[in-house]
Amino acid sequence: MGDTGPIQQAKLVLLGDMGAGKSSLVLRFVKGQFFDYQESTIGAAFLTKTIPEKGVKFEIWDTAGQERYHSLAPMYYRGAAAAVVVFDITNAESFAKAKNWVKELQRQGNPNMIMALAGNKADLAAQRSVTADEAKAYADENSLFFWETSAKTNVNVAEVFNDIAERLPRAAAALPQQPTGGITLTEPAPEQKKKSSCCSTA
């Protein structure tokens, strides 16, 4: 469908514990690179990537993972169309933190936000401390996509983003999310009110 249509911009945010591999996933997806010594993120990083086949340009906000900086997160996830919550499969604590992020997004994020859960560092399966079943069950309960990924060996990285791209509301549906220019159409509210009061008295 509409492959040649206009490119739609989508704000996407990555959240998750420090060292889970958020920056690495983004770097793999956007630039096809991976660094063992990927530096920690302070504040946030910003990257973009267009998937022409899906007609989507992702504007990706990669946030800092440490709890201490949690209060800054709303600045990055507000208005986001999608979120990827990342944990490290070798670290149970990071899975617990991922659940907290999901909760927070469900409570405070954009209600139509598309969420994915990424169990990263799948290449380190030998040191796994979160099973795929456990994570999958949690994802299903909360209607999240779930992928086990490896930024290092490039497993399922593009899949996470493609999945999101496919679920993004198409241009028409996305329209109300666009910033409005300050002009709101006046609704015929008074008439409707009259009608409804008519009905209620009837």
Partner 1 sequence: MVPAIRAAPTSHPIPQETSTSPPDAFDGSDCDDAHLSDGDSMMDSSEKEAVYVRDGVAAVVARKDRIMGRLSLIKQNHVIFLAWLPNSAGSMLPDGTFHVSSLMSQLTAPATDRTLYAVHPIPLSEVKAIRKHAPSFGTQHVVLVLSNGLTLPPLYFTSGGVKGLFSALREHTDLIKSAEDPNTYLVNSGGDPMQQSLSGLLLDGLPPSASAAFLAKTGDQDGPGVVSQVWEGVSRMTALAKQAFLESSVALGQPLPENVASPGAEWLSSEAAREAAAASAADSDRLSSGEADTSVGVFELLDKDLLESATSARNAPRPPPLNQEEWLSFLNTEGRIVNEKALRQRVFYSGVAPDIRKEVWKFLLGLYPASSTAAERAEILKQKRLHYGRIKAQWSSITPEQAAKFGKWRERRSRVEKDVRRTDRAQAYYRKKSNVRQLQNVLLSYAMYNFDLGYVQGMSDLAAPLLCIMRDEAEAFWCFACLMEKLEANFHTDCRGIQAQLLGLSSLMSILDPQLTSFLKTKEATNYYFCYRWLLILFKREFSSYEEVMRLWEALWSGHVSPHFHIYMCAGVLGLHRRQIMDDNLDFDGILRYCIQLSGHLDMQQVLRCAEKLCILAGPAGQECLTAAGLKP
Residue 148 CB, nearest approach to partner 1 (Å): 21
Is 19 a binder of partner 1 (CB under 8 A)?
yes
| Distance between CA atoms of residues 164 and 67, nearest Å | 26
Is 36 a binder of ligand GTP (CB under 6 A)?
yes
Is 38 a binder of ligand GTP (CB under 6 A)?
yes
- Toward ligand GTP, which CB reaches closer, 27 or 164? 27
Is 64 a binder of partner 1 (CB under 8 A)?
yes
Sheet holding 8-16, edge to edge: 44-51, 56-63, 8-16, 82-88, 114-120, 145-148
| Distance between CA atoms of residues 107 and 84, nearest Å | 16
DSSP single-letter state for residue 33: -
The angle subtended at Cα 120 by Cα 147 and Cα 46, nearest 5°, is 95
Beta strand residue intervals within 37-163, DSSP E? 44-51, 56-63, 82-88, 114-120, 145-148
Is 185 a binder of partner 1 (CB under 8 A)?
no
Q: Please, which residues bridge with residue 56 across strands?
A: 8, 51
- Taking CB under 5 A as the criterion, the residue among 41, 94, 120, 156 binding Mg ion is 41
**What would the two tokens of residue 58 be?**
């992702």
- Taking CB under 8 A as the criterion, the residue among 9, 30, 34, 45 binding partner 1 is 45
Residue 189 CB, nearest approach to ligand GTP (Å): 47
* Nearest by Cα to 116 from 89, 138, 93: 138
Is 96 a binder of partner 1 (CB under 8 A)?
no
Find the distance separating the first CA and the last CA of the chain, reported in whole Å. Answer: 49
Is 94 a binder of ligand GTP (CB under 6 A)?
no
State how beta strands 56-63 and 44-51 pair: antiparallel
Q: Which residue type does 136 have?
A: K
Instruction: Give the interface segment with partner 1, choosing from 26-34, 43-51, 112-120, 193-201 (CB under 8 A).
Output: 43-51
Q: Which does 119 bind (CB under 5 to 8 A by kind): partner 1, Mg ion, ligand GTP, none?
A: none
Which residues are near partner 1 by CB under 8 A? 11, 18-19, 36-40, 42-46, 64-66, 68-75, 78-79, 93, 108, 179, 182
Which residues are near ligand GTP by CB under 6 A? 16, 18-24, 35-36, 38, 40-41, 64-65, 120-121, 123-124, 150-152
